[in-house]
A and B are shown apart, each in its own frame.
Chain A
Amino acid sequence: MTEKELIEACKRKDRKGQKLLYDRYSPKMFGVCKRYARSREDAEDVLLEGFFKVFKNIEQFKGAGSFEGWIRRIMVNESLMFLRKKHNFQLTVEVSNIEIKTEVNAEQDLIAEDILNMLDKLPTGYRTVFNLYVLEGYKHREIADILGISINTSKSQLILAKKRMQAMLVKNQYPGVG
């Protein structure tokens, strides 16, 4: 079934179509949710809520952009809503603008477990800004709007996240960390 056919089936509330769509996108979206939520259970809750909204609001998808991008945005929004209930982003601290040079060997790879471990060890504010900037591709201005913080706070959270990650890579003896 093509993506277009899947979307049409979901618009008709066809359960088989919904299951197929879920099977196709849930692994990737679960990865997204895991990056934001600390526990696997929380990530599953966010994923469920996100897919529920996908099916509920699928009429709003007019086919203008990427469907996967649309679902991903819903998952990110859902993850942020989940975090907002537990964490106040406006309490995050702003620090002076320090340039931190962090480079690794080009052939260096991370294993999934290490990625999750490192993200898990970051404070919520750092982790969220890191996710939005590095992996979702938002600009600091957009992150500031989304989280209700200033642009400088967003920038400093990212710098601190980078610094913390570098320290973790060194500690885990990843070769070529500079």
Chain B
Amino acid sequence: MKNKKDIFDLFRDNEHKLDERPDGKLWDRLEGRLDQSLEPHRAPSRNGWRQWMSMAGVMLALIVVISLINIMFRGENGSKQSAENVGVMQSLEMEEIGIFSDKGPNYTVGEYQKMLARLNTSPILEGDASKKIRIQESVFASLNERSKRQIASVDKILKAEEKVAASKLETKKAEPKVIASDEVVLAEAYVTDFESTEDTKSEIDAATTDFASSEFEDEAGVVMMDAEVVAEADQVVTTSTSTSAPVTAKMEEANFSEPPSDLNAATNAISVTSVDVAGVQQFNWLLGKWEASSSGDYASNESAGAAAKSSAKKRKSRSAKEAAKDMAKNKAKGNMTASTRSVEEWKPLDEFTIAGQGYLVVNGDTTFTENMQIKKIGTDLYYILALDNSGQQVQYKLKTYTEEGAVFENESVAFPNQVILQRDFSNSNFTTVLQNKTPVQINTEQQEYLMNRNMIRSEQVKRVMNRVEN
């Protein structure tokens, strides 16, 4: 047997024979590609500062020239105007009075001032400042889908900002109806905390803080503050329902179903660590339609499915008919043929949320649907999903974000306490992994639910989705 070797070794030993210098033109193509990639943002070279300095010098010279021209132009106009309106200009400082002319319309002094200012300084003379500039329909139609989506999302953001500003005004006007005397100090502390946040963050961020606090509101109108505030106050603060009313309305607009209070408590218990979070826009790479054919999944899910089915059999309360139905359903879930499609679509819901819907299509019928969200709550981002058939949604807070993906965590959940999104360089596929930091066995109920669209391993749940549409 010594003179025999495995067929695989035969290939290993001879692999090097495939080495071959590629066509010479390939380097030219690669070089072209490298040049192209460098053009928009050329990497700083050793003498980069010289280039920057020279560019800054040119810019400075341009500014000086433009300013000089402007001053000269103003000087000419100013001398003409001052000759004509010297009497009027003197009276401007006194009060706004009507200017009457035989030839033109009548102006107040203020209007006249504004008109002069506009003529001298406004580069856009053919439109009133209050008019909105919109992209022409014909131009919009010629854009690609991505640009259209970007314009639409900008539009949404502007509208949402207006709403946020309006609701903030209302919120500030509203006074708390009842605050117990002992709690006044705490309530004030909360307001101070909130206002200091407003000072340091943008309008949107402040509104998001509003939004976040609204999500921890229970049915009785009790607002549970986020973990840091609770830690300081060490007790629950009550406030009136009227204060949060606009916020609640906004929550309804965003079509966000409120998580149950025990979940809120669990989420609040998570320690707050700083992650550089800009917004859900970081996850725009998820937007679009993804698909994975799942026949391979079933092979690995079979054992999990069998366990789930046997557990279903143990539930004695079920009738034979129900059991038969369940079996048929399990079969539909499990026996994935080439006609089984697992699809996932992600769309922006508002400027704080992108929403995903996953569904399973078996022989043209949708047999399973689930909803996910990535949502900015306060200053943090959360991945929200259901983990079993109860529909109860669980929030996972973003802990790590890189170009290759993100890790969301919720330590209070038995399984999984991590949701990981992994993407590839070309954005042609991404993987969702549900797992625990320390591996554990997945319980039967969760297996039954998660096996719909995922591959079940003993300690990990996973699905790979390939891009279908942008």
* Residues of A participating in the B interface, judged by any CB pair closer than 8 Å: 13, 15, 18-19, 22, 26-28, 30-32, 34-35, 44, 47-48, 51-53, 55-56, 77, 81, 84-85, 88-92, 94, 102-112, 115-116, 134-135, 148-153, 162, 165-166, 169, 176-178
Contacts and interface: CB of A to CB of B under 8 A. Distances in A.
A30 B27 CA distance: 13
A30 to B, nearest CB: 5
A173 to B, nearest CB: 15
Contacts of A77: 424
A150 B455 contact: yes
Given A81-B426, A104-B5, A152-B299, A44 B17 contact: no
Nearest to B433: A145
Interface in B417-460: 424-426, 428-429, 431, 455
B4 A150 contact: no
Most buried by B among A85, A88, A90, A108: A90
B16 A31 contact: yes
Residue among A28, A77, A108, A153 with max Cβ neighbours from chain B (10 Å) = A108
Contacts of A109: 10, 13-14
Contacts of B464: 90, 148
Nearest to B297: A90
Given A31-B16, A84-B429, A148-B464, A92 B296 contact: yes
Given A22-B30, A90-B293, A153-B296, A30 B15 contact: no
Contacts of A116: 18
A178 B294 CA distance: 38
A22 B29 CA distance: 13
Nearest to B21: A27
B4 A104 contact: yes
A149 B457 CA distance: 11
B2 interface: yes
B5 A30 contact: no
A36 to B, nearest CB: 11
Instruction: List the 3 shortest-distance A-B pairs measured between CB atoms, nearest first.
Output: A90-B296, A150-B300, A31-B18
Interface string B1-28: 0111111101111111111111100110
A148 B26 contact: no
Interface of B: 2-8, 10-23, 26-27, 29-31, 33-34, 37-38, 43, 292-297, 299-300, 338, 424-426, 428-429, 431, 455, 462, 464, 466
B40 to A, nearest CB: 13
Nearest to B292: A90
B293 A107 contact: no
Contact of B34 (A44, A55, A84): A55
A53 B34 contact: no
B295 A91 contact: yes
A169 B17 contact: no
Given A22-B30, A47-B22, A112 B7 contact: no
Contact of A135 (B11, B31, B293, B296): B11
A105 B30 contact: no
A51 B10 CA distance: 29
Contacts of A81: 424-426, 428-429
20 contacts: A13-B38, A19-B31, A26-B21, A26-B22, A27-B19, A30-B20, A31-B15, A31-B19, A32-B18, A35-B15, A44-B22, A48-B29, A48-B33, A77-B424, A81-B429, A91-B338, A92-B296, A104-B4, A110-B10, A148-B462
B10 A108 contact: yes
Contact of B26 (A48, A90, A111): A48
A90 B465 CA distance: 11
Contacts of A90: 292-297, 464
Nearest to B2: A106
A78 to B, nearest CB: 9
Contacts of B22: 26-27, 30, 44, 47
B281 to A, nearest CB: 23
Given A90-B293, A134-B12, A150-B299, A112 B4 contact: no
